């Protein structure tokens, strides 16, 4: 029977790239996102085994999601938590609404989706991939809220790897730098002070490649996620793998 991957944030730039990679690899893809229209568009591009528009910031919805995926697909072999949102600004200007949004999407949803997925992943001896960030293991100025959410997600991944190793479940975090997706465009438009291209140039100025610096393509991250879910990667668990052109290597 074909293996099944469940992808959260599947309508986004990274999530949809992950969905395409697994579909091209012969896996059945179950997709979820709060963006129902985006999910529908993805379903026109790819054969989806399941597609559910849910707000995973509620733990009960995470369990509902897994129940539906198992009912439709009969199994689960990999979970990829790719849902994420960005907010930036000084801590003293952070609203409670933004705090709740970022922690709900970036951490709470992943936490409870992982929890709901453990039972079927024990059966398949499957894999969890949490999309973290370079901001999860180094401080990024003016992004304390996002850093806090991704730092917590990174350590959640490591702890789950230890807790679930005896069950044959592997858990890893993947930590990209800036990815050329609509999320990055949103950042630049919202926080670029009227100069989104200048905002992006400032981000690229931090990369060690100098004038050759570019943003990561979502397909590149998807390829790493695909690799980690394959049997030949069975020795890799509890890792936080950077894919960031060396951005987090040091200064």
Q: Are residues 139 and 107 in the same domain?
A: yes
98's enclosing H/E stretch is helix 96-103
Classify the C-alpha dihedral 73-75-78-81 as positive or negative: positive
pLDDT recorded at residue 250: 86
How many independent structural domains does the chain possess? 2
Q: 14 and 38: one domain?
A: yes
In the prediction, which pLDDT does 135 show? 85
pLDDT, tens only, 27-42: 999 999 999 999 999 9
* 119 and 165 together in one domain: yes
Range of the domain at 196: 180-215
Q: What pLDDT score was predicted for residue 139?
A: 87
Same domain, 22 and 126: yes
**Chain Cα centroid distance, residue 138:** 18
Q: Give the pTM.
A: 0.96
3-state secondary structure of 94: coil
158 with 211, same domain: the answer is no
User: 28 and 108: one domain?
Assistant: yes
Q: Are strands 4-8 and 127-131 parallel, antiparallel or unpaired?
A: unpaired
What residues act catalytically? 146
**Residue 68 belongs to a domain:** yes
Q: Write the Ramachandran bin of 195: left for phi over 0, alpha for psi from -120 to 50, otherwise beta.
A: beta
- For 46-56, write each residue's pLDDT tens digit: 999 999 999 99
Q: What is the pLDDT of residues 153-180, one digit of tens each?
A: 999 999 999 999 999 999 999 999 999 9
114 and 199 in a single domain? The answer is no
Tell whether the model's pLDDT for residue 183 goes beyond 80: yes
Residue 109 belongs to domain with CATH number: 3.40.50.720
Q: Token digits for 131?
A: 């999309």
Q: Which residues contact 39 (CB under 8 A, 6 or more apart)?
A: 10, 11, 31, 32, 33, 51, 52, 53
Average pLDDT, the chain: 96
Residue pair 79/3 in contact (Cβ under 8 Å)? The answer is: no
């Amino acid at each position: 029977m074909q293996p099944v991957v469940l992808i959260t944030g599947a309508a986004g730039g990274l999530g949809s790239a992950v969905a395409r990679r697994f579909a091209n690899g012969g896996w059945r893809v179950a997709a979820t996102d709060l963006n129902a229209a985006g999910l529908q568009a993805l379903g026109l591009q790819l054969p989806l085994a399941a597609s559910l528009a849910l707000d995973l910031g509620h733990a009960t919805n995470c369990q509902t999601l897994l129940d539906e995926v198992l009912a439709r697909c009969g199994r689960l072999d990999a979970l990829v938590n790719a849902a994420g949102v960005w907010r930036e600004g000084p801590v003293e200007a952070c609203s409670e609404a933004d705090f709740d949004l970022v922690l709900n999407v970036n951490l709470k949803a992943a936490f409870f989706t992982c929890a709901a997925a453990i039972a079927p992943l024990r059966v398949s001896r499957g894999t969890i991939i949490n999309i973290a960030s370079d901001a999860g293991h180094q401080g990024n100025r003016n992004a304390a809220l996002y850093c806090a959410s991704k730092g917590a997600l990174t350590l959640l991944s490591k702890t789950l790897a230890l807790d679930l190793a005896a069950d044959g479940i592997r858990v890893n975090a993947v930590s990209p730098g800036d990815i050329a997706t609509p999320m990055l465009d949103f950042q630049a438009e919202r926080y670029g002070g009227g100069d989104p291209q200048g905002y992006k140039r400032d981000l690229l100025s931090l990369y060690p490649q100098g004038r050759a610096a570019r943003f990561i393509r979502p397909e590149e991250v998807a390829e790493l996620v695909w690799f980690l879910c394959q049997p030949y990667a069975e020795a890799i668990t509890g890792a936080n793998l950077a894919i960031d052109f060396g951005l987090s290597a040091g200064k």
